[in-house]
Structure 1
């Protein structure tokens, strides 16, 4: 297995994987944006191929095994000052996520991490998380941050084992097909410079 920076050509794989990570929320949002006969995944791929925005191939690293993308991570430094102006215009499902992000300005934010089901338990996630830590330290960040649904017990357990701790939470606003209720958890882990 090896990691590499994502390219625009990876946009469709990135859209598929971020939807896995987001447990269907991205697909719901893309479906609301779709025009004409565009499918939600096509909208997601278009967004992943953008040059700007948090969900852009510029912020992604992919894990390759036997010439195929088997996992990805999208991570970047959050702004040092976070502006929530216009928050009410964002979809209700996204508003708690934006409010939580605003509580960790300047952190290295893991927007999404996912592994194809067939590639799980092979160390892909560990490799991607180690990459995120190295990138964060290289960017001068002292903290990793992420948001996870509290009812996603498997992911929460993994993040706890990796040293992440919950620092805040907000109620989750369900979307069609949402597998969880409960709350979104903002988790962080402090980094030591090496």
Structure 2
């Protein structure tokens, strides 16, 4: 593995859905598993649920919104991003599960922006430039779409914060994390924003 690693992102395909599910679990420090547990029916596995969601044609977590980097044919890093164009109203926010209310509140602060929902790299391929290459691809999409900001939300103990800051992101706001069945050591969600200037 890693013999043929390139730093050129390419669009994900539906066949990448299972690997995208694995990578979103890494990016979310297990939070997606809590979400998928609530969707489980019968004897399907949590990763089957995640792969099915990634294989959808629509929705935020869809292969259609993902760029990947491959080692040979194997996906070793992925980024899921898309535009945030509408705020969640206070009425709708009241119906959002408590676990996600802090995230939705932070998202509302950066509408409109190009939002990085997922960025993860398998452990063996880290620190080889894949994350920077994928963030650059997201920035290219943002500029092409006429967006003046890139945004993302991460936990306060995420070691990827140093990558985001070196790429030009700065903390713009924070909200306390609601754990509600999620075992996570962090205390706050951090909203990161990168100003792209006039496009």
Give TM-score scaled by structure 2 length: 0.91
Aligned pair 1:57/2:72, yes or no?
no
Size of the alignment, in residue pairs?
Answer: 192
Gaps of 5+ in 2: 1-5
Work out the CA distance in 2 between the residues paired with 1:132 and 1:52: 18
Aligned pairs for 1:46-125 (under 5 A) are 46-79=52-85, 81-84=86-89, 85-125=91-131
For the pair 1:148 / 2:154, whether they are aligned, the reply is yes
Deviation at 1:160, TM superposition (A): 1.6
Which of 163, 168, 172 lines up with 2:173 in the alignment? 168
**Structure 1 CA distance, aligned partners of 2:166 and 2:110?**
21
SS in 2 for 1:47: helix
Q: SS state of the match for residue 33, structure 1? A: coil
Q: Distance in 2 between matches of 1:51 and 1:67?
A: 22
CA drift of 1:178 comes to 2.5
Mark the CA change 1:33 to 1:118 in structure 2 (over 3 Å): closer, same or farther: same
Contact 1:174 1:181 in 2 (8 A): no
Map of 1:39 onto structure 2: 45
What TM-score does the superposition give when structure 1 sets the normalisation length? 0.93
Deviation at 1:88, TM superposition (A): 3.1
Alignment of 1:171-182 (within 5 A): 171-176=176-181, 178-182=183-187
CA distance, structure 1, for counterparts of residue 190 and residue 61 of structure 2: 20
Distance across 1 between alignment mates of 2:180 and 2:136 = 31
- Given candidates 10, 23, 27, the residue that maps to 1:21 is 27
Is 1:184 the equivalent of 2:189? yes
CA distance in 1, matches of 2:49, 2:83: 25
The answer to whether residue 143 in structure 2 is matched with residue 137 in structure 1 is: yes
For the aligned residues, what is the CA RMSD? Answer: 1.5
Shift of 1:91: 2.5
Q: After the TM superposition, which of the residue ranges 68-77 and 177-186 deviates more from structure 2?
A: 177-186
